Amino acid sequence: MGRRADDAGTAGEPPRKPAIERSEEVAGNQMGGAGREGSPRGGFSLTTPLAGVAGIGSATAGALRRLELVTVGDLIKHVPMRYERHQAEESIAKVAPDQIVTVRGDVTATRVAGPFGKQRFEAVLLDETGRMDLVWFNGSYLRSQIYPGLRLRAHGQAKRRGPGFQMANPKFLILKEDAEEPPPTEGRIRPVYSASEAIESAGIERAVGIVLERAVGQIEDHLTTEYRQKRSMLPLADAYRLAHRPETDVDWREARRRLAFDELLLFQLGVFMRRAQQRGGTAAASLRWTVEIDARIRARFPFRLTEAQDEVIQQVAADLTLDRPSNRLIQGDVGSGKTVVALYAMLMAVATRKQAVLMAPTELLAEQHFGSISKFLSGSEVRVELLTGSVGGREREATVARIASGDADIVVGTHALLTEHVRFESLAVVVIDEQHRFGVHQRATLREKGEDPASESGSGRSSPHVLVMTATPIPRTLALTLFGDLDVSTIRELPPGRSPIVTRVVSPAQSAEVYRWVASRLGKAGEELEQAYIVVPAIDSGASAAGDGGDADLNDLRSLQARLEQGELTGKRVAALHGRMSAQTRDHIMARFRSGLIDALICTTVIEVGVDVPSATIMVVEHAERFGLAQLHQLRGRVGRGRKRSACVLIAEPKTPDAEARLNVMAGTTDGFVVAEKDLEIRGPGEVFGLRQAGSPPFKVADLMQDRELLALARRDAVAWIERSPRLEGPGEELLRKRLLRTHGEWLGLGDVG
């Protein structure tokens, strides 16, 4: 009676039937335990520590605390990770061996058997169709609970025993004559919570049961009724109630939908709020884009741009003509021609007498960009400069001076560009190659370079346009989540004349055979030149990203080199390349490789990104199981850049299912988008995007793969919302703003808004 009153009094909800069939999970003497009867009488709020809630013992509270569930609110937010539907009841005759089933029948006989101390309790259960023997080991205490004449529901695994079936230690429920029972065809939905050794899912379920009704009655919604109805979203309180205690599949799906949407919406609002903050009042140079300028830029390229490049150039160029700073991600598979698009943008800056900068993640890449850009621009008046860590002394001073005076038009470099000594005269376009290697902060630093008040126009801040190129294609919607403050352009086609790369995965036992085949293709007299990369991993996997593994790695590289020079590749011109070499040495070796003076380059992952040698047609990767998918795809992208058919051989000994899956993906496709999607499936989005590293809270409910539609919806709404109310300070937005800042304020650097 009292409980009914509580229920009705909470949130003006129509009273729900109390959850039924609680006892299936509760064996024997625990039946009807703490659950409902323990309902709190004392008051508590969402911030009350669980230890202070009547009905939750200190042991339970302690176990929950170790799951970082301290308060009532924490527990409510700990929604089930999945749901199990309990099986419908079966008639005994239909039970199959080893099946987990629920049956119902009359107890016709019971007995205690076995030696003292090891006594078991046995019962015979009959329904209209057959007989099931039940046995509880050490269960003699049950004799007072279960006796002939009772109706019983039993749940457990049915094992064949003689002509019939036996269930050992089944969970059971004694059915009362007049009890309301669920329809026999429908099983109850059980929440499954992420649990621990100290407390299992059922224990969490019980604790939730104690606080749920009262707690959800106190949950305030940060979305208005109007907005919720427009998006067909449940009220927050209902979402939590149904997430914990669904009666139907629709219940938990709807609950999940609202909770996932909340996470995505808050995240996106945060991202766009930051963008509004960054752009607020900031001007950018509006660059000129005329037919004449377009023609002049195109004339610099010795080829026709692909349609895909043209399309992206339209988008980029349109951005650059605006007087507000633009922010665009250009994604395209390796070799799709992103650099050319970036150069187009940079030349637009030059045409308006402004400066542009291209920042690469490694010196090797910076040097290569510098080389190819200089080549495209040879004979023109555009002044291109290179600034990396190994440009030193006088030369560096002179370069920095030319950048500051405006005598440099295009500057190519590495992190070295980020030091405060480097100032631009009028920086209008920033291009960042290989985004995933740079953090959000570095992007911001580079953007600030454009804010030097060199022009003293007196009209406040001015920022450059920012273009980010990534050769690790990211599924579009996901890119939008992470780089929500970037517009996205995708180059979907490769320049013509590329032949597909054949990929093979082989075992280390076949390595001699592989290298004999490599030798047969290298440096054939009278034929077009073919060259090979042979990549060895960093042994210390922590160093592999930097491409310069530990000493052990270099030894590995050297021993392979020694083996091949004296063995399979005797007589071929073999050289080594690794990150420990000085930039000059690497340059020298790359130059020799590029001009065909080296047949095979044995290297670490320094060549992972961007290196472009069209006559390199063979890529061999040793210990390929140690590389990530994105890395393998990048490595493979070093070949297949010319007309000649290329091959990628992955020598691997996968020791984990994930490693095996990665190799299968590589063998199965050359499409970078497919690779990226699979990478997500295998690793999960958090890792792929370094979301965790970036310090952003991971999503608890939302699944970036599964909830893409919801994400798109959240993004659309967030854009419009922030446009309307950039600081979320409108009427009715107080709670939303508070929750947003609490979840995302810190990592998005929104603290100062709050």
- The residue count for binding ligand ADP (CB under 6 A) is 16
Give the dihedral sign, CA 132/133/135/141.
positive
Q: Shortest distance, CB of residue 311 to ligand ADP, whole angstroms?
A: 12
Residue 637 as a binder of Mg ion (CB under 5 A): the answer is no
* Cβ–Cβ under 8 Å, residues 584 and 392: no
Minimum Å gap between C-beta 386 and Mg ion is 16
Residue type, 4: R
The nearer residue to Mg ion, 339 or 388, going by C-beta atoms, is 339
Distances (CA, A) of 590 to 56, 412, 534: 68, 18, 14
Site for Mg ion in 319-378 (CB under 5 A): 339
User: If you ran DSSP here, which 8-state letter would residue 542 be given?
Assistant: G
Q: Which stretch binds ligand ADP (CB under 6 A): 225-233, 304-312, 596-604, 643-651?
A: 304-312
Q: How many Å is the maximal CA-CA distance in the chain? A: 103
Comparison of 339 and 531: residue with beta carbon closer to Mg ion: 339
CB-neighbour burial class of residue 711 (10 A; exposed 0-12, middle 13-18, buried 19+): buried
Rounded to a whole number of angstroms, the minimum distance from the CB of residue 730 to Mg ion is 44
Residue closer to Mg ion by CB (options 142, 412) is: 412
Based on CB atoms, which residue is closest to ligand ADP, 594 or 744? Answer: 594
Nearest distance, CB of residue 483 and ligand ADP, angstroms: 18
**What three-state secondary structure class fits 681?**
helix
Contact at 8 Å (CB) between 125 and 164? no
The residue within the footprint of ligand ADP, chosen from 93, 303, 555, 591 (CB under 6 A), is 303
The least CB distance from residue 332 to Mg ion, in Å, is 9
**Span interacting with ligand ADP, options 149-157, 241-249, 292-300, 329-337, rule CB under 6 A:** 329-337
Helix, strand, coil % over all residues of the chain, rounded to 5: 45, 15, 40
Q: How far is CA 702 from CA 468, 475, 479, in A?
A: 27, 17, 16
| Closer residue to Mg ion, CB minimum distance, 274 or 641 | 641
Is residue 610 at the binding interface for Mg ion, with CB under 5 A as the rule? yes
Scanning the structure block, which residue is given the tokens 């003497």? 29
- Note whether 511 binds ligand ADP by CB under 6 A: no
Query: C-beta of 364: minimal distance to Mg ion in Å?
Result: 12
454 in Cβ contact with 425 (< 8 Å)? yes
Torsion, CA 386, CA 387, CA 393, CA 397, rounded to 10: 90
Q: Which of 39, 48, 309, 352 binds ligand ADP (CB under 6 A)?
A: 309
For ligand ADP, the binding residue among 22, 120, 258, 338 (CB under 6 A) is 338
Specify the residue, 642 or 685, whose C-beta has the smaller distance to ligand ADP.
Answer: 642
Q: Are 427 and 352 in contact (CB under 8 A)?
A: no
Q: Using CB under 6 A, which of the segments 250-258, 338-346, 685-693, 701-709 binds ligand ADP?
A: 338-346
- When the beta carbons of 495 and 684 are compared against ligand ADP, the nearer one is 495
Distance CA 702, CA 259 (A): 8
Based on the shown chain and the rule CB under 6 A, indicate whether residue 339 belongs to the binding site for ligand ADP: yes
Element housing 535 (H / E)? strand 531-535
Residue 339 or 670 having the CB closest to Mg ion: 339
**CB nearer ligand ADP, residue 314 or residue 664:** 314
Instruction: Please say whether the beta carbons of 553 and 537 come within 8 A.
Output: yes
Q: Of 130-138, 332-340, 402-410, 681-689, which segment contacts ligand ADP by CB under 6 A?
A: 332-340
Closest alpha carbon to 489 in 337, 653, 647: 337
Of the candidate residues 39, 102, 201, 336, the single one contacting ligand ADP (CB under 6 A): 336
> Which one, 209 or 610, has the nearer CB to Mg ion?
610
When binding is defined by CB under 6 A, the residue of 612, 660, 703, 733 that contacts ligand ADP is 612
Distance of closest approach, residue 614 Cβ to ligand ADP, in angstroms: 7
User: CA-CA distances (angstroms) from residue 496 to 315, 519, 697, 739?
Assistant: 22, 29, 43, 51
Q: Is 495 in the site for ligand ADP (CB under 6 A)?
A: yes
Q: Are 624 and 667 in contact (CB under 8 A)?
A: no
Site residues for Mg ion, 208-237, by CB under 5 A, read none
Distance CA 232, CA 333 (A): 38
DSSP secondary structure, 623-677, as one string? TGGGS-HHHHHHHHTTS--SSS-EEEEEE----SHHHHHHHHHHHH---HHHHHH
The count of residues in the chain is 754
Using CA of residue 268, residue 273, residue 279, residue 281, what is the dihedral sign? positive
Residue 501 in the binding site for ligand ADP (CB under 6 A): no
- Closer by beta carbon to ligand ADP, 292 or else 307: 307
How near is the Cβ of 334 to ligand ADP at its closest, in Å?
A: 5
CB of 204 or CB of 365, closer to Mg ion:
365
CB of 412 to Mg ion, least distance (A): 12
Answer positive or negative: Cα dihedral of 430, 431, 435, 438.
negative
Q: What angle do CA 338, 341, 344 make, to 5 degrees?
A: 150
Which is nearest to 315 in space by CA: 169, 486, 481, 445?
Answer: 486
Say which entry of Mg ion, ligand ADP, none residue 332 contacts (CB below 5 to 8 A, set by partner kind). Answer: ligand ADP
Q: How far is the CB of 336 from ligand ADP (least distance, A)?
A: 4
Q: Binding pattern to ligand ADP, positions 10-49, x when CB under 6 A? A: ----------------------------------------
Binder of ligand ADP out of 139, 337, 450, 547 (CB under 6 A)? 337
Q: Which is nearer to Mg ion, 105 or 642 (CB)?
A: 642
Q: Per CB under 6 A, does 746 bind ligand ADP? A: no
Interacting residues with Mg ion (CB under 5 A): 339, 610
Binding site for ligand ADP (CB under 6 A): 303-306, 309, 332, 334-340, 471, 495, 612
